Structure formats: structure tokens, C-alpha cells
Amino acid sequence: MLRYLFLLLILYWSCTSSRHNLPDAVVGEVGSNGMIVTANPVASEVGARILQQGGNAWDAAVAVQFALAVVYPVAGNIGGGGFAVYRSADGTSGSLDFREKASVHAGRDMYLDQDGNIIDRLSLEGHLAAGVPGVVDGMVRLHERFGSLPWEELLAPSVEIANSGYVLTEQDAHNYNRAQQLFKKFNSPDMLFIKEEGWEKGDTLFQPDLAATMSRIRDRGRAGFYDGETAEFIIDEMQRGNGMISQEDLDRYEAQWRDPVKGNYRGHGIISMPPPSSGGIALVQLLKSAEAFPIGKWGLNTVSTVHVLTEIEKRVYADRATFLGDPDHYDVPQEMLISDDYLAQRMADIDPKRTTPSQEIKEGKVDIIESVETTHFSVVDKDQNAVSITTTLNSYFGCKVIVSGAGFFLNNEMDDFSVKAGVPNQFGLLGSEANEIQPEKRMLSSMTPTIVEKDGELLMVVGSPGGSTIITSVFQTIMNVVDHDMGMQQAVNAKRIHHQWLPDRLIIEDQALSAKVLEELEHKGYEISSRGAIGRVDAVLVLPDGSLEGGADPRGDDRAIGF
């Protein structure tokens, strides 16, 4: 019966839809022997150089991660965490979870006052907001399993850049300037990024403390960060600001190899990140649900397309808030959530004539969606080994604390827990007890590093920053290629929309929808608001002739380099 109702809905829409013009066709950087796409031109150059020196995709990924910690400290980091999804040339795939963890000293109510109310900003700013960093351990494990070049060669570029300095872009200067007051609030007056007269495009930033930290990691690997002088700097910083991370936390941290989430969309294999990322499960739910509708026939950002995607997104994000958490601490019902029968039932009450109020899907109240600073990069080498990595500090510059003497920012990922069940985090995302704070638990994430296959071969490597908008940005980019026949750069450039169940508001990029589409959606009951940018997708597409097209997002300083 449910499937019959679903078919009736599809028939209704098929009779009432019209095709919408696609964005201008544009071809991105093309290469035949490798492709790097990152959020920063310098980091892309570092990765390309590693590939040209004979390194594989994992070598390049490690070098890029450390380079981003130097030239893109707003999100690139060694004081945060992230996820990696990979696919070897022989088709073997897997994922690595190097997400931050709560301290062994953490507790469920650590951000609540004596009356059980959330203490404002405590999980967002300052030392107590930081989880135990996972990036360095993650990169060490990637290299141990897959690396081909010596570890020291992969760290050398970052040490050199931190010592010799790098030239700020306009966006870099803007990022540093907007955080000046918070830098001053949580750091000593001589903190490197504080500049009374303000930063300007063209300024050169030198980071000797970070160079020394990178040198210790280069020479000692994991021990160069989690032990010895760097660890002492971290612990001293925690003591200075009443933080929680201890030497025991650093000693006990371990990245985890996990089986990726897999699905299928119109004959394309989807390989994505499992919990504690919500991204993979949510992405497969979105794609499998959208597969029932003729998205390609309807066109990009038409009334029918926007309506059905929004209705699907509402239900998937409600599931995210209810069922997802760290699988080492909570039994996530993954197979149920991505099963055909469950999704058919979940989507059966979609009404083509009106938007479903989010309160009818599940109770809750959320008032905010804020911006975030995460970064994604995609790598494919000459053999078509592929790596998709998303890492983050959470907010821009994390908790705004730089580790004195070590030169890197700490994350504020503790806010990604359900600080209090049923109360939204900074991105307006709700959580339940599945994501409550526990010692050594990993907080839920929206990061969605993903690889797409076609006919058993590599097709696409994709991911995005953007907090709660990450999942929908990746979702739409895949559909742009599969349903709308776009190339990689065209798919990345296309305007995006976003709905996350609560708040019950459709977010669109400026000029994403025509006046006519907006009018029809409002008639269906939509509340709509616009913003400048949703996500920053960096992706690679394998073209029919086997060459690689990079899609670097024009919403930032992102750059693709192929050769």
C-alpha cells in the first residue's frame, strides 16, 4: 500500500513539473595523472608536489592535512579531528575515524548550572570546549597502512611554510580580523594572531612555534604530539584555562578503522562515512529516497525538485537527531535506517501540495542555524587510488584558544554532543541521549567524505565543510552529476538549498531560486530565507576518457591542481 501511494505521488509531480535551466557549463582543472582539490592554493600545491614526486593519494592527503594546519588555521588543523574515506585502485574501500573524543574526566552535565540550565557559550568558547584531538594519530595511521614516501618528506613542506611564512589572501585577513576580540579574551596579549591595526591581504604570517611543533611530529611521529614537549604545552594550556584534557587523554587516544556506509543511487555505488558521523547514513537515506522521483526530468531547483528534496531532508534530519551517536557507546540502527522498507514508510506521507510542518514529523524547537568552519579535500593519484577527507575545529578557529608555545588552535567539538538532550547546538541540530556526553565518547558529526563508483569503477570523490549543511551539499552535488549530467566544476558551482527539519525553514543561496519558484513554494507553506553560501565542495570526477576533472568551490579560495 505504501509503495502504491508513493507511485501516485510521483505520477502527480511528473504531470506538474517543468525543466529548469542548468547553470553555465564550465570545465574545471583537468589532469590525467592526478588531482588535488583543497580549500587553499598553497595546500593544493603541497599535495600536487607529493604526487609528482611519486607519492600516492594517501601520501598527498597526509601532506595536505598538515599544510592546511599552517595556511588555513580557521579550519585546517592538528588540534581537531575528522574522517577519511578511501578507495584503492583495486576497488577495496574503507574509512578511518579520527574524530575527537571527550576527556576521561568529562560528564553528561558538565555544561549545565545547578538548576540544569545550559551555561551560555561554555561548550563553544574557551578551554573546556575542547575535545581530545585526533588528527595527528589519524594521519600516522593512514601513513602506516598506505603510505609510500617517508613520513619526514610529508611533513617537510609544512615545517618550511610555517618557518618562512605565507601570504594572506583577502579571506584570510577577514577571518583573522573578525576573531580578534575572542583571541584577546582567551589568549595572552602576545598571541600570534592578535594584530591591533588589523590584518590585510598581502601580509605575511610567520609561525615559529607551529614550525617547531611540526618538526617534533616530523621527527617523532605520534609521540611528537601526544607525548613530550607538545603534550606538555597542551596540558599547561589546559591548566591555565581550567580545561579538561590530561596526559591520560592524550595517551589513550586512538583513531578507529571502520567499515564505510554503502548504498546505491541510480546504479552508482556510494561509499561514505559511518557513525560517529551522521553523514554517510543520512546521505544514503537521502539518495535512496530521492531515487523514487524523476529529479533529472524535473530539473535543477524547480518547484517539484525543491519540494521533494526538502520533504526528504526534514525526515532524514529528524532521524539524525533521534537515532545517531558514537557506535562504541550506542547501538545505532544503521541497517534499519537505510533499508528500502523503512524509507518507503518514512516518505509515504509526503504531500505534493503542501510542505509538512516539522512539528508533525517530530516534536522539537530550534531557532538557529550558524555558520561553521570545517575543511574538505579530495585526492586521486595516477593509479586512481582515491582519498576523501573532511576535518574540522568545529567553529572558526575552534574554541579560539591557541596552545601557547605550540602554535595551534584547539577545537570546540564538545558542542557537537547533546549538551542537554532536546536542546540545539550552535548549528541548530538537535540530539538525544544517543549523543549525550560520556567519558572517551566521540561526538556526533555531519562530516560526509564520500566516494562514488559507476560500473564498479571510481567516478567521484566529494565532500564539503558547512556543519549541518555538509550532508545536503554533498547530496546535491552527487545529484547534479548523476541526474543533471553536469561536469564536476559545474556541479560544484550550482546553487544550493538546505533544510534540516528544525528550524522549519528552507535556506537557499542567494539567487538559487527564481521569483516564480519562490512564489509557488511560499504558496505551499514554506518559510524561506537566503544566505550567501552553503557549503564549499571540493571534488574530483573521472571523465569518460579516464582523465580527472577537479571542482574547486568558487565560494572560497579553493583550488584544484591536476597534472
pLDDT given at position 424: 65
Question: What are the contacts of 44-51 at 24+ separation with CB within 8 A?
Answer: 44/559, 44/560, 44/561, 45/561, 46/157, 46/158, 46/161, 47/377, 47/379, 47/561, 48/561, 48/562, 48/563, 49/157, 50/149, 50/153, 50/154, 51/379, 51/381, 51/382, 51/563
Active-site residue, selected from the candidate residues 374, 375, 390, 391: 374
Give the H/E segment covering residue 252: helix 247-252
> Please, are residues 261 and 273 in contact by the beta-carbon 8 Å criterion?
yes
DSSP 51-64: HHTT--HHHHHHHH
* 302 is known as an active-site residue: no
Q: Cis before residue 41, ω within 30 degrees of 0?
A: no
pLDDT (tens, 9 = 90+) of the chain, 563 residues, equals 344 444 445 545 554 444 445 778 899 999 999 999 999 999 999 999 999 999 999 999 999 999 999 999 999 999 999 999 999 999 999 999 999 999 999 999 999 999 999 999 999 999 999 999 999 999 999 999 999 999 999 999 999 999 999 999 999 999 999 999 999 999 999 999 999 999 999 999 999 999 999 999 999 999 999 999 999 999 999 999 999 999 999 999 999 999 999 999 999 999 999 999 999 999 999 999 999 999 999 999 999 999 999 999 999 998 888 888 899 988 899 999 999 999 999 999 999 999 999 888 863 333 333 445 699 999 999 999 999 999 999 999 999 999 999 999 999 999 989 877 666 656 555 556 778 899 999 998 999 999 999 999 999 999 999 888 999 999 999 999 999 999 999 999 999 999 998 788 999 999 999 999 999 999 999 999 999 999 999 999 999 999 999 999 999 999 999 98
pTM value > 0.75: yes
pLDDT given at position 372: 52
pLDDT given at position 322: 81
Give the H/E segment covering residue 228: helix 228-240
pLDDT given at position 362: 66
pLDDT given at position 268: 98
Measured in degrees and rounded to the nearest 5, phi and psi for residue 83 equal -140, 145
